[in-house]
Copies of this chain bind each other. A is one copy, B any other.
Amino acid sequence: MHSRPQPAAAGPASVEAHRDKVRALLAGLAVRTGTVPLADALGRGLARDITAPLDLPPFANSQMDGYAVRSADLAEGGAELRVTEPVPAGAQPAALAAGTAAPIMTGAMIPPGADAVVPIEAAEPDVFPEPGSPATVRLPGTAAGSYVRAAGSDIAAGTRALAAGTYLGPGQLGLLAALGLAEAPVHAAPTVLLVTTGDEVVAPGDPLEAGKIYDANSTLLDSGLRQAGLTVTRAGITADDPDALERLLRDHAPAVDLIITTGGVSKGAYEVVRQALEGHGVEFGSVAMQPGGPQGLGTFDGVPVLCFPGNPVSCLVSFEMFLRPVLTGLLGSPAPRTAVRARLAAPLTSPAAKHQVRRGTLTPDGTVHLEGGAGSHLVHALALSNALVHVPAGTADLAAGDEVEVWVL
């Protein structure tokens, strides 16, 4: 009962300044890199640039089922050409003789000498002849290059296919496979120790005495961290005993890359995280953000520590505003949140001195509807939301129809 408000001298840090501090802290994260099979690379960040070892497509090929031709054979009015051996996908065709047309399948290699494809629908007859039986086909005038996918037209051998730090999702891994690569160099998943604090906090499923609340933070952050590709060690809930918290951290620290605590960081009494860690390598302060103002940051036994406030929405906002984007920037994983502009469905007010982060539902017409008020305890409203709505510092009132930046969750 002898805590006091922080010295107001410095004032709260801006969101950007605090994110910079988190970035500086995590720049030293001891994360391994290694080469893994593509299937294990899903959701990871690329550890170095990938140069294309071959052209894509690897060779000129047909965009359609049709006839490979020499365009010079087809005058403006077209011509009747003799049909040669068909070219299936995967075959290495013989050169196309002048005055002939080769049936060719989508994706099949353009025969040497041929420079265009006429789709089967434009041929007379519009059905391929039986292979081996002599046949001719009438084809219209065709420009060189028609329906041909040129070698290297998607990417040329020797150019950069993906940059270091790229998030590896289905499209990126599909590209690596198309380039013939069976493995990818990636940053491994950091391991995070997650500690929820508070005498008032009870595990879901246990009986709830008067004055207590169920622990939402462990589940919320555990899910968020795992969805972001991190490995999580859950230390459970610790009571408001600084010595017990310190012992718990000391036991786990050697096995983890990062420690996250929730609760116990504000200006009240009984702030267990503050009591255990202040002056032992962790600084506590205030960020000009609502919710999520009180924040702690530093190291414990050499391991980076982030101390988030105790309300569930504050935890989520702290994760999304500080940890997640910093990890994306440093390791290429998780995928960056997509930011869009949307129009407010209703007016809002926000403390002008703070960056307010509201929760809302983004609809396909480009409107965002706020879910619940600004309160950091509104976990039901959070569960109805699919987006974070940003009201930057300096803005106190917005009207319905005003544009805001929205992050897609």
Does any Cβ of B come within 8 Å of A9's Cβ? Answer: no
Cα-based distance from A220 to B174 in the complex (angstroms): 4
- Report yes or no: A2 in contact with B130, Cβ–Cβ below 8 A: yes
- Residues of B contacting A146 in the complex (Cβ-Cβ under 8 angstroms): none
Q: Which of B65, B108, B173, B340 contacts A211 (CB 8 A)?
A: B108
Q: Which of B88, B170, B340, B383 contacts A223 (CB 8 A)?
A: B170
- Residues of B contacting A170 in the complex (Cβ-Cβ under 8 angstroms): 219-221, 223-224, 227, 316
Q: Which of B56, B179, B408 contacts A408 (CB 8 A)?
A: B408
- Report yes or no: A57 in contact with B213, Cβ–Cβ below 8 A: yes
> Which residues 186-245 of A have a CB within 8 angstroms of B?
198-206, 208-224, 226-227, 240
Cα-based distance from A54 to B2 in the complex (angstroms): 35
Name the residue on B nearest A372 (C-beta). B154
- Residues of B contacting A379 in the complex (Cβ-Cβ under 8 angstroms): 56, 154, 171, 174-175, 178
A81 to chain B, nearest CB (A): 17
Cα-based distance from A69 to B381 in the complex (angstroms): 29
- Residues of B contacting A169 in the complex (Cβ-Cβ under 8 angstroms): 223, 227, 409
A174 to chain B, nearest CB (A): 3
- Report yes or no: A182 in contact with B200, Cβ–Cβ below 8 A: no
* Tally of chain A residues near chain B (CB < 8 A): 120
Cα-based distance from A223 to B126 in the complex (angstroms): 39
Cα-based distance from A120 to B171 in the complex (angstroms): 53
Name the residue on B nearest A335 (C-beta). B386
- Residues of B contacting A74 in the complex (Cβ-Cβ under 8 angstroms): none
- Report yes or no: A5 in contact with B120, Cβ–Cβ below 8 A: yes
Q: Given A39-B219, A199-B90, do A128 and B380 touch, yes or no (CB 8 Å)?
A: no
